[in-house]
Amino acid sequence: MLESPSPQRLLVLGSTSPYRRELLQRLRLPFETTAPAVDETPQPGEAPRALALRLALAKAHAVAARHPQAVVIGSDQVADLAGQPLGKPGTHERATAQLRQMRGQTVVFQTAVAVVCQATGFAQVDLAAVKVRFRDLTDAEIERYLRAETPYDCAGSAKSEGLGISLLDAIVSDDPTALVGLPLIRTCRMLRAAGLTLP
């Protein structure tokens, strides 16, 4: 006689990002979302890669403390321009300044993901580094783009999944969804390791 499969643990995405939510929906697993309420201020001298890893894990642990039986995903992305972190611009002026800094440059988008289950003691974190080469943008191109897409909630001030792709010369990555905000190949690997069954 076949045993019926045991029910899966609740999956919680510790993020309010609509981009991460849309990406996680691709896996066709039921999940909830909740805000992680973590201070995202970089520590003095903290490298972008270290910042992304620390914040992804902190977000997952913060949400897991409130949902100890659940499998929790935390994620963070930091745009890395020659070792300097570029966060979400928040305003048109800051987005303009970021894009002017990045024109003609290669920016590494450090996208970290952590999976934690407090009940089982499971905790893993991984990082996908996406190299993005920006075209040598004119001020007029930057202004037109920002007025058209208003990407003020995106690290690096550009949405590659939208009109922002027109700003770029190249994208190099082994996990293509990482640039949008959640590296799904790595996420799937960790969810399986945490005991979830994926299609």
Q: Which residues are catalytic?
A: 76
| Cβ-based neighbours of 44, under 8 Å, separated by 6 or more | none
Residue-level length of the chain: 199
| CA neighbor of 152 nearest in space, from 195, 88, 198, 102 | 88
- Report CA dihedral (26, 27, 32, 35) to the nearest 10 degrees: -70
Paired strand residues for 124: 115
